[in-house]
Amino acid sequence: MARKRKNRTHLKGASAEARNTADGIPKSFIIKHGQVGSSITQLVRDMRKVMEPNTASRLKERNRNKLKDYLTLAPALQVTHLLAFTLTPIAPSLRIVRLSAGPTLSFRIERYSLMKDILNTAKRARSIGMEYLSAPLLVLASFPAPSPTTPPHIPLLMKAFQTLFPPLSPQNLTLSSARRVVLVSYSPERGTVDFRHYIITVKPYGVSKRVRRVLEGPATTATNILDLGNEKDVADFVLRKRGEVGPDGGYESAASSTESVAGDDGDAVDLADDYVGRNNRKGQRRAVRLDEVGPRMELRLVKITEGVPGKEGSVIYHEFVKKSKKEVLAQVAEHAAKEKLRKERKEEQDRNVEKKALAKATDPRAGRDNDVAIEEEANDEEDEAREDDEGWDSEEEISEGEDSEVESSADEKEVEKPRKKGRIYR
């Protein structure tokens, strides 16, 4: 008997992953950072639903995980964005980090509603499932057009949201894959960004609810057959209310029914291709409606910085702190000096490693003597990396009129008060 040939499925998966990366499809990590409540935890889960299927939906955070762990792991998994939620004494905050070189956008969450809250207030229940197999469509609304008077941070804000979602290609987009819409609208009066999430619903155009039940069948029965046993005529079910006569002594028409869907011609479209649902064929005239499913957020942009957390550069924009040109130049020079010092230390460490390898090849005894010096330098590098990682912790807050760098320097100058003898602190 012939030997069965084995399929190399792991190579197929690797090629598909490489193809997604080549197509420019962004991938994201959505995490919670620090001690947060149950509402923020649920908001993280809801945002993962919004960003599906190009996000880590089952990512589990641990208390000992630091932000540096995700920044180190992201390049190996082709992750392009990191969305970190944290809770400050003022309000919840969100950071959108563009990997692996930045920039980092910090938002304050003014108000938010969870997905379950939106669904509980909806008139009709939604079955959530198949809509999340494809990425949502992004709609940017009310953003000012580029002009000399436009604030410089607005185009960067638009670009940050655009890169979160896959680019739209009308030539390659199939109509059946357009199932969801993410609306990001800018409010110039309040200076905030509203985030909304909708599901696209397609219904027959210009017909009443009873006619739709005849066309689509009842959704509560398994046989999809209408029960007209209590009706004298099919017109009693289709054209008017059961057992009642219309206002003019005749039957009620579909045009005069209050249950007709999308009577305005602006809401009706001709399907360019087959769509999801019964009788949604190419060329049929259908009414398109957006049903909000949440979550809903109102975001205020607080700060934009170069680089990633732990290796942040200069501040591009700050909502509450305004600096003069002299202070900005001094800050840029300070960050440049730090980056130069870090590169010099890295180059020196690489030279020492090469010297150690050469010494081992020529004289093993001398190579052992150099091990202690190399280990001490490695420990110094770890201490510096640990100090950089402590720069973005759960206790950091975004306050009005104060900079986080000023707060951190003030905390370092505080002297710890001596404890009284005889008291036990628990």
pLDDT digits (tens, 9 = 90+) for 68-96: 899 989 989 999 999 999 999 999 999 99
Cα distance between residue 263 and residue 206, in whole Å: 5
Give the burial class of 406: count Cβ atoms within 10 A of its Cβ; 0-12 exposed, 13-18 middle, 19 or more buried.
exposed
- pLDDT tens digits, residue range 321-347? 887 778 778 877 887 888 888 888 888
Cα distance between residue 377 and residue 380, in whole Å: 5
Cα distance between residue 52 and residue 69, in whole Å: 22
User: Residue 193: pLDDT above 90?
Assistant: yes
Cα distance between residue 121 and residue 74, in whole Å: 38
pLDDT value, residue 404: 41
376: three-class secondary structure by DSSP: helix
- Angle at which helices 325-362 and 364-389 pack, to 10 degrees? 160
Average pLDDT over residues 280-294: 87
* Distance separating the N- and C-terminal Cα atoms of the chain: 75
Is there a contact between 294 and 300 (Cβ–Cβ < 8 Å)?
no
Pull the structure tokens for residue 154.
Answer: 């607005």
Q: Is the dihedral of CA 259, 265, 267, 270 positive or negative?
A: positive
251 HSE (CA, 13 A, CB side)? 12
- The listed range with the strongest mean pLDDT (11-20, 102-111, 143-152) is 102-111
- pLDDT tens digits, residue range 351-388? 898 888 888 888 766 555 555 555 665 566 555 555 55
Strands 92-98 and 285-292, how do they pair? unpaired
